[in-house]
Every structure is written in C-alpha cells, then in structure tokens.
Structure 1
Amino acid sequence: MRTAALFLDAERLSALVGTEVVAKRLRHKPGLSTVAALHTPDGVHGWAQVASRAHDPRIVRAVRRAGRAGQRIRVIEHDGLTLAFGPVASDPELAAGFAELGDEQRAGSVLLRYNPHRRAVLRGTLDGAPVSIRVHGERGDAKAAQRRARGLLADGVPTIVPLQRTRSTSTWAWEGESDLAHPSADGEWAARRAGEALARLHTVGGDAREPRSTRAALLRQAEDLAVLDEHLGRRARRLVEEADLTETDLVPAHGDFSADQVAIGPGGVWLLDFDRYRLAPRLKDLGGFHAVELLSGRTPLTGPLLEGYGVDPGDALRPWVFAGLAARLMEPLRDADPRWRDRISDRLDQMEQWRR
C-alpha cells in the first residue's frame, strides 16, 4: 500500500512534483509499484510511478526508454521509495509512439484521454479533416486494432477502421456527433441501433481471442483488494464465490461494452474500441452495459438496447450485471478518492443486490 499512499495525498504529491496535481487512473501492483496519471486544474499534466526498491530496475529501464525517444523523466527518492514522473509524451510505454507522430502533429493535437503506460487518445487533423489519434503502449497493438476493425466491418458490424497507422500509433476518422452516454438526439433510438449492432457482433466469426474466466479474474482482484484492506477483500471474495457466473453460450464479445463506446451520427451508430474483443458469455456485454448505466446515475438505456438486440434475458442478466459492477469495484481507488474504502464498501453493497 505504501506505493499507492503517496497518490492519495495530493498535498504531498504536489510538493514533490512541484505543481498542484491530483492523481487519477491509479494502477497498483501490491508490494511493487503504483502508476497514475497526474492532473492539474487545467487538465492532464503527465504521469508518475512510485516503486519499491524491488521494482527500481523497472524505473531505470523506463528512464532509458524515454531518453531514446528524446524525452526526460525526473526521478527522486522519497521515504524509501522511488518516484519517477514526467509529461505524457515521456511515458516510457508511449514515448516511442509520440516520437512517431512528430513535433508538428503533436503540437496540433489535443489530448482527450490518457491511461498511463497503456494508451493516449488525441484529437488532431489529417488532410484538413478531424481525426482521432491513438498512441498504443503494447507492442503490436496498433496492427492488431487495424486487423480487428477491418475484419468486423467486413462482417457487417458498424465500426470504423484506421485511416493510417505506424508501428505504435493509429489514426481514425472522427465519426459521430456524440456518444450514447451523452446523446445529442434521441437516445432511445440510438440505443436500439446499438443493440442491433451488438447482436450482429455476437454472430460474427472473426479473430476473437480465447475466453478468460470472469470468476477467476474477479477472485484475483479480490486478493489484490485484501492486500490493501483484508475485510473488503474477504467481502469481495465471498460475493464472487457465491455469484452464479455460468460461462456458457460463448460469442465474440466487445469485452468492455458501455454507452461511451457507441458513437452516434445522422446515419446511425458505430461501435468503438475493441481492445478487449474475445469470446465471452453472450450476456456479459449486456450485463456490463447495464452496470455502467447504474454507476453513471443517468436514466438507463438498457431497455431500448435490449429491444434492438432482440432478447429479453430477464433474471438471467442479473449475474452479469453483478460481474460488470465487480469489474469496476476498484474505481474509487483508481480515482485516488481519499474515502476509497467507504466507496468500495458501497459498491460491494450494490453487488450484493445483483449477485443472484
């Protein structure tokens, strides 16, 4: 917990970084390190990683990778830990991709989303038209994203394909005027179209990766939580063990389906971001969608989505809503909420209502 504690203390973190920041998008590896995005009142400032002595070699390699891409990272020792931080373009897993964009394209782009060490999404232009530019952290991810999108579009799934790509970046047309999480027009109409698109996705062949056990993943998460708070970890483990997560009726699934993954335009909708595309139970995408709707606090669009999908699963959906809520259990910690224990406890209460 020591490597995460610094990110939960905004005043101490700001003093070390030298400007007012708060941490977001925490990713914690118990006993090793924690990485986070740093935000100022004006937006994303950069990234930071706090590592134990056992993880110091990773910091050294990160500094070297950033240096090869022409970036500099600050490294300081604090309270027996190593703190490394720098601007987004110096992120050691993304620095090569930012270098591929070049100074002119980076200067003309606006950062939209940033997941440290994994991906950055920018809005830019290509031949005068707006585009979305993704900088990928995982080797081969840009090529795989292009291949998946082309295959799905050929199979009749409404999505978009990259206009161009490099080894570590991909550039996509800017489709749609809004998304289903913030619809500018008839949200129920768009949700029905999204349901139809999801039904089509679930019937295609494609190159979906092999399935992963949802229960096993949630149990690993419970173990990680127990390292931070034994009581909360035990509660999470009990709920996951008791949930009826029967993993049958496997289909090619989006894997992270929610309203903000649906772009809306005058001609219809497009499904986006297939990074987690793999075989999974048919109801997992539908249950995950409803889970995010519940957490958002907005009026759920799950009803019209199911109308478009053409199936009313009834109570069979409940365990997969539970799974969707459980997959997002750690969000209060990832958001560096000082009351993360209380917030996670509240989410466990909510999961309890949906586990059967």
Structure 2
Amino acid sequence: MFGRDIGIDLGTANVLIHVKGRGIVLNEPAVVAMDTQTRNVLAVGEEAFRMVGRTPGNIVVMRPLKDGVIADFDTTEKMLKHFLEKIRVKGWFMKPRILICCPTNITSVEQKAIREAAEKSGAKQVYLEEEPKVAAVGAGLDIFQPTGNMVVDIGGGTTDVAVLSMGDIVTAESIKIAGDRFDADILSSIKKKHKLLIGERTAEQIKFEIGTVSPKGSDKSMEIRGRDMVNGLPRTIEVHASEVQEAMQEAVQHIVQAARTVLEITPPELSADIIDRGIIITGGGAYLHGIDTLLADELKVPVFIAEDPMDCVANGTGMMLENLDRIRKVK
C-alpha cells in the first residue's frame, strides 16, 4: 500500500480528515486525555471527549489547539499521529502528502508549528491553505472566476471572513471569536444569573439545542443540571432561548463587525457581485438559529447557509488535493 494525499481540517473543536478517493473518513473532537504523571496519552477524539469534566485528578482532558492555532505542540503531534494511524493512510514505502487548513492571519511561527506537527506525525510533504478559501471551494463556489464570492466561516476557535476572486483572497479578516466563545459566554451567564455552575459540555449542549442569535429568538427552553454556588448541592433549572441569545449577543456582534469591515474594504466591482451572489456561511456556527437572518439584516446583503457547513473545509481539501501542484508548499 502506498501513501495517499490527505486533507486535514485541523479545527479547534473538531478534526476532519479527507482522503483522496475515499472522501471524509474521520470526524472527531480535537480532544486528548492525558495522564499528568506519566504524560501518556490515554484517549483521543470521541473517547477523550466523553471524559470531559468527569476525570480524576491525575487525568487531564485538553484541547491541544486554541483559537485555530497549536497551543500544545507535543499533544497535537500525538493526536495527529493517532488519527492518521486510525485511518491507515501511511504506506510501507511512501508517506502521505498532507494539505492542512489554517486561519487567514496566523503568523509564520504558527505556520511552522502546524507544518512540523504534520511532518512528525508522518507526512511526506505539507501544504497549507487558508480556511475561508478552502471552505468556499467545499461549499461549491467557483472562486477561480473573476467574480466576487464572500464566505463567513464560523468555527470553534476562529471566525474567518473573506472575499475571494480569481482563485485567491482579496480581503479578509480573522477574529478569535467563534463557537468556544459562545460556550464560555453561556456558562458565564448562567453562573451570574442563576448562581449555578455548569460544565463546558452542558454549555455546548445548550447552544446546540436552544441557542439562537435572532433578537426575536424562539420560545424553546430546556432543563439543565449543575452545582448550586450557594449550598454546593446539585440543582436543576430551566433555561430559555432568550437568555442564551442575550448571553451570545456581544460575541455575535463582533462577527457582524468583522463581516462589515471586510465589505468596507472590498473593491466596488466585487461588492456588486456579492450583492448579486450573496454571502455563504460555513463551519459549525452556521447551525446557530437565526445567524443567516441576522447577518442579512445587518449587512443588507443576501446570506445563505452552505450545504453540510461543518464538512465544507474538509470537502474543500478533497477538491484541492486534485490540484496539489498549484498550491504553494509551506517553506
């Protein structure tokens, strides 16, 4: 068996791997469980995610990526190695060529860290591409024509906004506000309003089930359990969608502002194309109730949610793997 070309969406929250000719073969949380005394990796991905908030003192469950970049190099390398072994892409005679996506504004040092982590996990060559560009390709946009396409990619650690034309990014903005920030704001709001401590997983569950960014909100509600801050005992409360909308409001406005900033510096001809073609939302944040309506109202431009928004970047890497020779290799 020979090495294959593979594309990796190395996200803060999830890692998706696309193998050329096979499609998306892996989609797991970017989480690692480690023994703090021996530094041995105990679990990776889905198995480690189930341990979040439920481990004894000697086991720590961590995310080796933060805000779209590597926060813990050794753990990222171990995580990548585990995932590559799991999907069995490394051949006996050849190592795979890997295409990895990254936010638009990462530094050369951060690029080097991503490249080295991929090389040490078993890559022959590493190519780097900007996330919104790959997301646009995966969403089915023809970015190689001389017309403007705009993408808002809301991931776990970063939101990338970009206008693309003739196969490259014309204007872009990347902010470290996305899904993780929404979770943190929900957690903080419930702590402040209800004097109840909840975990990250519960906050994420609230976001998925009743999260909304529309000012009109929805009438949904759900019961959650946590620890009472006053007496330290377990308690159950009911949380309404309007509370969640209020908690996430500030973070969402930062995303709106980032999109507005990109539109303000976009050449007028491309702005005219965007009015015709609209804006595409990709990434896990696209699932937030009302995000398309809110952006359309604020920016006065049609906004659409991509088909399978979470898979857009991974699918885009698959399409770009067909033209690997046209992509610059990371120096």
TM-score exceeds 0.5: no
TM-score under structure 2 length normalisation: 0.29
Point out the structure with the larger helix share.
1
TM-score under structure 1 length normalisation: 0.27
Which one scores higher on RCO, CA 8 angstroms, separation ≥ 6?
2
